[in-house]
Amino acid sequence: MKKPYNETWVNNLAIQQISEKWRFNNLISHEQNEAVKVAFPEEFYRPGIFVKIGLFVFACIACSFFIGFIALFILDAGSNTFGLVSVVCCLCFTFFLEFLIKDRKLFHSGVDNALLYSAIGASLVPVFMLFENLEFWQYCICILAVLCFAAIRYADLLVTASAFVTIFTLLSNLMMKFPLGKALLPFGIMILAVVIYFSAKKIRQTYYRECRIVLEVLSLITLYLGGNYYVVREGNALLSDLALLVSPQIPFASVFYFFTLIIPLIYIFLGLRKKDRILLLVGLFALAFSIFTYRYYFGIFTLAQGLALAGIFMVIVSILCIRYLKEPKYGITDEPDGERKMANMEALIAAQYLGQTPQENGIEFGGGNFGGGGAGNTY
């Protein structure tokens, strides 16, 4: 499928971002960074965040006025007529979206995002208006088809996240139709999250780089929440319409106790081992939620006592880790990414290829294991 955004410019933009990061870390000079921009040009219109928000709001208002203008010509306010108007609006929004991307070189600049969301919304209205007797899972399939097409074509983060939520909503609705499916719902969610995570890891195109990150993060969070004891127990009580002060115990409670503890530890271990920052950060947040889960049901301290003890423990562990990792151990260091020196061998090779060694003070080359470059795999 041909992409509306110039894929060459998208790749060049990613290269420029890497080059800018290297320049910030003094791995290459300012002149070399400018040479990279000349060698890998891109002409996208990418305003600042506040301008982007303003353009998004303005475009949403413009789309609303356009729908109202078209509605002025409707004499019959029947559902079929409204569905037809929605189709016309969808085609118009899509046309302007494609035109502005080509003509104005927009790249997720606010206007194109608003037009995309408006086109998706307008395309779904006829489905709900013309097919009023469909079941919920059938609506989910229709929505998922539209969202997947839009995500593949435009690589929009919100559309990707919406498609992710829709597919899990579809799975939940189908499984809850059967007693056994309702009991196995947490396991089904965990299995689907694993499948999506490893499928996302296989995405290599720069065009979908940020969408891949969104899918990885959401998959890891969903996998953990699907096995979290608190979520499963309280969710089971909610789905069973049990208005009790204390939710009843769930079957296989020991299994979910185990998942609540082991999944964050696996995330942290793999994040450190594979130098995967996403796994590490999600694992740390998941571990904190696991502590909350166990304390919620088995707390022996008051809230103030628990916070005080947790704070003392975290301070002690942080100090010990900083001291231990002052010198890199097993490729792991406590230094921030922006302060590491000569950490990326690719940067060294690129800088030498450009004709000048990185501007580092006090660096003696020849001490490394990769051709004498002195580089290491720190994290």
Q: Please give the single-letter amino acid code of residue 101.
A: I
Q: Determine the pLDDT at residue 332.
A: 73
d(CA 222, CA 235): 14
End-to-end CA distance of the chain: 37
Domain assignment present for 106? no
Q: Determine the pLDDT at residue 358.
A: 47
d(CA 16, CA 8): 12
Query: What's the average model confidence in pLDDT over 113-123?
Result: 97
On whether both 222 and 248 belong to a single domain, the answer is no
Out of 270, 299, 328, a domain closes at 299
In degrees to the nearest 10, what's the CA dihedral of 97, 101, 103, 106?
A: 120
Q: Provide the residue range defining the domain that includes 144.
A: 137-227
On whether both 180 and 232 belong to a single domain, the answer is no
Element (H, E) at 244: none
Q: Using the 8-state DSSP alphabet, how is residue 248 labeled? A: P
On whether both 171 and 206 belong to a single domain, the answer is yes
Out of 227, 260, 278, a domain closes at 227
What are the angstrom distances between the C-alpha of 36 and each of 8, 31, 342? 14, 9, 19
Domain assignment present for 354? no
Q: Determine the pLDDT at residue 373.
A: 44
Which residue in 47, 63, 161 sits closest to 116, CA to CA? 63
Q: Determine the pLDDT at residue 285.
A: 94
**131 pLDDT more than 50:** yes
Q: How does pLDDT run across 55-90, given as a tens digit for each residue? A: 999 999 999 999 988 887 765 555 567 788 899 999
On whether both 216 and 253 belong to a single domain, the answer is no
On whether both 193 and 212 belong to a single domain, the answer is yes
Q: Please give the single-letter amino acid code of residue 55.
A: L
On whether both 220 and 148 belong to a single domain, the answer is yes
On whether both 142 and 222 belong to a single domain, the answer is yes
pTM here is: 0.84
Domain assignment present for 110? no
Confidence of residue 6 (pLDDT cuts 50, 70, 90): very high
Domain assignment present for 316? no
Place of tokens 């185990």: 258
Q: Determine the pLDDT at residue 357.
A: 46
On whether both 180 and 261 belong to a single domain, the answer is no
Poorest-pLDDT segment among 29-43, 53-67, 256-270, 319-333: 319-333
Query: What's the average model confidence in pLDDT over 340-366?
Result: 46
Element (H, E) at 2: none
Q: Please give the single-letter amino acid code of residue 58.
A: F
| Whole-number percent of the chain with pLDDT over 90 | 58
Poorest-pLDDT segment among 93-97, 111-115, 348-352: 348-352
Element (H, E) at 77: none
Q: How does pLDDT run across 13-25, given as a tens digit for each residue? A: 999 999 998 998 8
Out of 267, 299, 331, a domain closes at 299
Domain assignment present for 288? yes
Is-contact 28 19, C-beta < 8 A? yes
Domain assignment present for 21? no
Domain assignment present for 38? no
On whether both 223 and 243 belong to a single domain, the answer is no
On whether both 238 and 211 belong to a single domain, the answer is no
Which residue in 89, 107, 100, 127 sits closest to 11, CA to CA? 107
Beta-bridge partners for 329: 332
On whether both 241 and 186 belong to a single domain, the answer is no
Name the domain count of the chain: 2
Query: What's the average model confidence in pLDDT over 28-54?
Result: 93
Domain assignment present for 9? no
On whether both 223 and 251 belong to a single domain, the answer is no
